[in-house]
Amino acid sequence: MSSAIANLAVVCAVLAVLQVLAALPWLLALNPMSRSKLLGFRFLSKAIGVAVLAGVALAAYFGSNMDPQALKGWGRVYMAALQSQIAADLFVLVFLLLLRFWPKGGAVSLAAFQEGLRQPMFWLLAGAAVFLMMVSPFLPYFTFGEDLKMVKELCYAFAMLAPAAFGVIAATMSVSEEIEGRTAITLMSKPISRRQFLLGKFGGILLAALFMTCILGWCLVWVILFKQWYENPTFSPGSAYAEPAWVMELIDKLFPAGPSVELFKGVGFWINDALQALPGLIIGFCQVMVLVAVAVALATRLPMVVTVPACLFVYFLGNLTGIMTEATRNLALVHFVAQVFDTILPGLELFDVSKSISRDFPLPLDSYLLYAGNVSLYALTYTAIALLFGLVLFEDRDLA
């Protein structure tokens, strides 16, 4: 038992050090002035020493309770925390690359991103979506045993609607107000071209919406796990949330038997949970991207009070054009109008994940990811067209 605890102490210490190293990039981004301190030998040695001590203390705590399920749960919690830090680090990396290879547009994107995160609207919408997700497992749905599917549908809907609402409102505020307030004239004199200004604004607002999507996606996984436990607290092999076989087999092959294996299985379980949620989040974010592109394009010519209702019009008709086209086949004129809308407006019904959730058997992950990739290509194509239309409208806009 002592050798097992010693092995567990080494593993916990290494995992704690990984958390410290993962925190450095986003800490540097939050406070660039402290770069010399954070990267100094004294601070790093102290931080790593504290992490090692924390890992040893956790190993001692785990040693008093070698319950495999508890260790798997702690592994899940550890990987969830590490994932959030890695996601923040990726945002830092994206802006470093933008500023390196597209300095002027990247600077506009960074300013728009920071402005979006400073807005109370961002945190209000994110907080409201998280609250609704947390409440959803306790609501009665009267679905005869299908409550989990309803919770999933609601959570994916909240994870799409909140970033979409933020992106549309932020785009109209940022672009139209800067044009109407003559702030854009100052930017154009830097010199920053109109293309860099518009694409930079779009990139910054879209990344802020992606940041919200990451927060809501992280919460979504926990809410679904809680709902699964809430319906049936026992872990039986035949349950809907049985431990994934591929994780069990992979960990058993890579690591020798011991308590640390259970910890790594929990890490693998969270990776599996995140992978299961990823396709739906990608599809939802593609819809956000299309709506933000439409909002940016319209905001070059229209004020906010017109752009927001226009985006709502695009959202509702984009989800209904397929149904309208099929339902009006016997009405020539109405069918023609429906076809025009179906051609011009984005086919937002493609971004509906409810069909994959309501299946009797889960959609295979590889097929789901392939569909998400196809939807992403469609969303990128429509986004490019919308932004090109916005650039054409913005090219001869009088900023004075």
Please say if the pLDDT value at position 236 is more than 60. Answer: no
Pairwise pLDDT comparison (183 vs 279), residue with the higher score: 279
Q: What is the mean predicted confidence (pLDDT) over 215-230?
A: 91
Please say if the pLDDT value at position 79 is more than 90. Answer: yes
Structure confidence at residue 399 as a pLDDT band (50, 70, 90): low
Least trusted range by pLDDT, from 57-61, 63-67, 193-197: 63-67
Q: What is the mean predicted confidence (pLDDT) over 332-358?
A: 80
Structure confidence at residue 239 as a pLDDT band (50, 70, 90): very low
The tokens 């890490």 sit on which residue? Answer: 267
Q: What is the mean predicted confidence (pLDDT) over 62-71?
A: 74
Least trusted range by pLDDT, from 7-16, 114-123, 211-220: 7-16
Q: How far is CA 78 from CA 16, 58, 201, 241, 269, in A?
A: 9, 12, 35, 20, 11
Confidence at residue 279, expressed as pLDDT on a 0 to 100 scale:
92
pLDDT averaged over every residue in the chain:
84
Please say if the pLDDT value at position 222 is more than 90. Answer: yes
Q: What is the mean predicted confidence (pLDDT) over 267-283?
A: 92
Domain chopping of the chain, boundaries: 1-66, 67-395
pLDDT tens readout for residues 240-256: 456 777 787 888 777 77
Name the most confidently modeled range: 194-198, 257-261, 269-273. 269-273
Confidence at residue 233, expressed as pLDDT on a 0 to 100 scale:
63
Q: How far is CA 18 from CA 72, 79, 90, 274, in A?
A: 18, 11, 16, 19
Confidence at residue 127, expressed as pLDDT on a 0 to 100 scale:
96
How far, in Å, CA of 12 to CA of 381, rounded?
A: 46
Contacts of 271 (CB under 8 A, 6+ apart): 79, 247
How far, in Å, CA of 380 to CA of 386, rounded?
A: 10
Q: Provide the 3-class DSSP secondary structure of residue 190.
A: coil
Confidence at residue 368, expressed as pLDDT on a 0 to 100 scale:
87
How far, in Å, CA of 171 to CA of 294, rounded?
A: 9
pLDDT tens readout for residues 138-175: 988 877 778 888 899 999 999 999 999 999 999 998 88
Confidence at residue 28, expressed as pLDDT on a 0 to 100 scale:
85
Name the most confidently modeled range: 86-100, 221-235, 304-318. 86-100
Confidence at residue 78, expressed as pLDDT on a 0 to 100 scale:
92
Q: What is the mean predicted confidence (pLDDT) over 348-365?
A: 79
Percent of the chain exceeding pLDDT 90 equals 39
Please say if the pLDDT value at position 295 is more than 90. Answer: yes
How far, in Å, CA of 34 to CA of 32, rounded?
A: 5
Q: What is the mean predicted confidence (pLDDT) over 16-44?
A: 80
Tell me the H-state helices in the chain. Answer: 2-30, 35-38, 41-63, 68-101, 103-118, 120-135, 147-171, 177-180, 183-188, 194-231, 245-254, 259-299, 304-327, 332-344, 354-357, 365-395
Confidence at residue 182, expressed as pLDDT on a 0 to 100 scale:
58
Please say if the pLDDT value at position 62 is more than 60. Answer: yes
Q: Provide the 3-class DSSP secondary structure of residue 8.
A: helix
Structure confidence at residue 188 as a pLDDT band (50, 70, 90): low
Confidence at residue 373, expressed as pLDDT on a 0 to 100 scale:
92
Q: What is the mean predicted confidence (pLDDT) over 290-319?
A: 90
Task: Decide: pTM greater than 0.75.
Answer: yes
